[in-house]
Amino acid sequence: MRVRGGLAALTVAALASGCAQSTGPSRPRAHPAPGREPLLAPPARALDAYANRLHASAVARAAAAHRWGLARTPLAAPPPPAKKPRITTRKGFEVDNHVEDGLPPVFTTVPTDDKVVFLTVDDGAEKDPAFLRMMTELKIPYTAFLSDFLVKEDYGYFERMRRAGVGLNNHTLHHPYLPALSYAAQKREICGMQDVITRRYGNRPTLFRPPFGNYNRATLRIAKSCGITHVPLWNAEVFVDRWEYREVDQDIHPGDIVLTHFRGKEQWKGTMPDMIRRFLNRVTAEGYAVARLEDYL
């Protein structure tokens, strides 16, 4: 509707301009010879090119959905919100002096009215090139939380992921149960992974997910000291053969963070593309798009 309104405004302005310049009786205009028609005005050319790009993108997305065996073409996410939602710690997930000490919020859902969910993928064990192709061709955003003891088997795989626009974030060096560790040991795990990602991929993460979703006050204090601003957990988890939910209604909701893992046939009854197919078929059928988590934080 905005595009149409813009074109209407341009048309009215052009007519007004033409009327203002008219000083005598109107004369019939000669039609230009074939092939000599004037070019479209620059705004019209830009709008036409934009519409063509949108159409080409939709066609490519539909073709990719068919190629990867999806029941429907995934819905496109809305533009990122101009004003980011206020993220707070979920009730019951606080630690002592959480707000007073300015510790990173721990949350499972982003407060938004947009009918979107956020896909996050943990650890880095499976390095399936078909997964990278599928996500790139379908243009599905996701956020990775990586552990170095798995990622170091093939840093290049995750570099390809980064080049495709995926956020690479912190899931510790060795995936331990953090509350059982000393302050110094937790710091090695968390800040050490910050250093690995910075050195290997050129960006220092601001998102951290503790292994198993377990943490204590020391965990959050250390994470904050290393540059972490948010601690996203999850409200649902998707596997090849099922979904699991945190809420009693066993459903997905606007702003839900969905967890999955880098896993293959050795651990699952299928591949990562099989898991993504289950994930996308469900969210698309319920009218949800997949948005980029970092765009809302």
What is the structure's pLDDT at 291?
A: 98
What is the structure's pLDDT at 37?
A: 54
* Whole-prediction pTM: 0.83
> Is residue 17 pLDDT above 70, yes or no?
no
Identify the CA nearest to 190 among candidates 218, 159, 162, 168: 218
Q: Are strands 231-232 and 143-146 parallel, antiparallel or unpaired?
A: unpaired
> Is residue 160 pLDDT above 80, yes or no?
yes
Q: Rounded CA gap, 84 and 288, in Å?
A: 19
Determine phi and psi for 202, rounding to 5 degrees.
80, 5
Instruction: Say which range, 46-50, 106-110, 136-140, has the weakest mean pLDDT.
Output: 46-50
> Is residue 32 pLDDT above 80, yes or no?
no
> Is residue 3 pLDDT above 60, yes or no?
no
In 144-182, where does DSSP find H-type helix? Answer: 148-151, 155-163
The tens digit of pLDDT for each residue in 181-237 reads 999 999 999 999 999 999 999 999 999 999 999 999 999 999 999 999 999 999 999
Domains, the chain, with CATH or none: 54-296 (3.20.20.370)
